[in-house]
A and B are shown apart, each in its own frame.
Chain A
Amino acid sequence: MWQRFTLDDVRTIGHYLGVLILFLAASMAVPFVVALAFQEWKPATHYLLAIGISLILGSGLRLLRVAPARLSRRQALAVTGFAWIVLAFIAAIPLYMSGHFNRFVDALFEGVSGLTTTGASLVVDLDHMSMADNTWRFMMILLGGLGLIVVALALGLFGKRSGASLYSSEGRSDHLVPNVVQTTQFIAKFALLFILAATVILTVVLTFAGIEPVRAAFHSVCLSISAFMTGGFTPMAQSVLYYHSFPLEFILMLLMLAGSISFTLHAELRKGRIGAFFRDIEVRTLVIWLAVATCVMAASLSVSLSFNDLPTMLRRGVFMVISSFSTTGFQNITTNQLAGVFSSGAFIALAVCMAVGGSAGSTTGGLKLLRMGIMAKSIVSTIKEAVAPDSARVAVTYYRLGRRRVTPDIVKEAMTVFVLYVSTYTIGALVGIAHGYDAMQAIFESVAMASNGGIVSGLVAPDMPITLELFYIFEMWAGRLEFVTLLAILVEVVVSIVPRRLRHRTQAQGVRR
């Protein structure tokens, strides 16, 4: 039976969303301090006002329920699901005040794109944006990449008891250590270490490239966060192309690869279990998949008129494959080259890479390699069963922190999410086509949104139709939550709004949960 939200539910959910908004207000202190440090007084006033507004909203929501009980699973789902859109809304306030967005929805798009680590951007004139506003864009990537809930849990914002149900509702539900708060702290520490190391190296590279040290350091922090969190924002409008630096691109590729491998596996590697790492189903799928994608890309580019000499192909092609498969969204070719000069085969290969995505339990979006691997195993199992004698029992296994059997439940989950992703890609493509865009580009853009990939071929632009923009916001949101959480709350919201009598009739017809 579908359950409707009671007033008590709404108050509790409101309370916890309020906590998250207060947390966002606190993190706005970072761009505020940056603004003061670089004497960007106008942005400083914007961030102070935004902090004030979020404090009022957050505290106000918390007053809905002064002493909330422990979150139930349903409530946790709702908090997680709404958090992304509510926080994006708050995050959009200072962005909109910056004057770099044509309308508020564009700033909201930027907020959703940042928090879901999609990386598509609607900033107008990014090259003249203040350091403070840029800092805020990368703060969003950092918070969203780690997982809003993960960060809040690591800081102990929800208390000890509500943790478990919240954590598992955020989509990336690998448990590294039994205690949820410890797990989240491990992830946060680990990611920050990686980002710090990369920042130091990139600062050296960029200083050698001729950028003054303070700016070089700033760009390095931004790029490191964006690469490891597989976000895709860049501080300059020309994306990674801006730097004209192969060493930089190489380091970013390593970071993106590291970011697209599950945190669980990172933990295994750190414990020295190299065997477990290479036997893992996702690492194997990743190696096979990357090899296939690169070959397809190379084959398609080598018969095209440009990008067909080897150094060019390696530098542009491999970077774009890694950027798309890790759903980062960096570009070291221009959007014009992507849509107009790249062969259509290479174009589609990138879209497929984004659609599949990286490892489950990492910051990548898309379907995830684990699900692809399991579905492949399921196909193998079906064939085995077909050819095996009647008496034989077929067991197909995969390796993930130990050998596991491919059970119908696991396959069902993988298939369900697969179908949901593919239908969203398709519907999004149709929405784009209905707005009069080129079909190939519409498909590409829809995949880039729902997979949180963020490489754009031209549809996402400051003057795009608002209906398309709203649909893309929905796609990013749905993709980040891997659908199940989102569909669950949508159903509950609908059920809560539809009058009771109607619902009784459906219940009488025997609709059961």
Chain B
Amino acid sequence: MSAPLAALGLFGDAIDVIFHAREGRAGGAQVGGLSDFGAMAWTHLKVVLASVGLASLIALPLGLVLGHLRRGGLLAVTVSNVGRAVPSLALIAVFIAFLGVGFGNVTLALALLAIPPILTNTYVGVTQVDRDVIDAAKGQGLTGAQIVREIELPLALPLIFGGLRTSVVNVIATATIAPVAGVVTLGDPIFSQAVYGDAGKLAAAIVVALMAIVAEVGLGAAQRAVTPRPLRGTPGITRRARFLPTLRKGAATS
């Protein structure tokens, strides 16, 4: 370990273990180092992308259609409440018990966790589009599909991205449980503290936190970018979504 890092104590040690492999606590194989953490980070990222991608594939169209029809509001809200009430650890445990371990099952479990914020925000985003705007669009001869594509989707995008951001950050954090199901994400050093030691555990936490921050900031920028220009800087959309108490977390967009 280099001198400046040593001065930082455990934190410095954690940084060090990210960059330099060392002997495992339990003896035997080398742990840590860029290739080890890189591989875990890559797996972590893959499982996050796969599960959020799957969740979006389900929640986006469903939210758009339900919102367009202004039906199933109860479903959207219930899903979001159930999603938050069931602890993710329990969810994964149930999945392993019934479906077994592996990347696919973890992805499925995490997707279930990622669906509620996207579904709820998409639904709310579409339903909060001014009814008069929809009426005028219909009255001018736009078809249902054209109204979804050209009016409802663009106007709901800011909220949709808010939901996506919440999902991604949640899943990044929760994917640390994946090693329990045999998928070696950045959660491994945390669960295998016996091998990685305190420094390894802290190092993994730091990398996960960094990932979450990057996702948060990046998607925040994307959210601003997709907000139609004239609607930027008007907090009306966010505020209205927050009025629904059950959506407090799911609809967070700020």
A, B from the same assembly: no
The chain B residues found within 8 Å of chain A, CB to CB, are none
Mark A residues whose CB is within 8 Å of B.
none
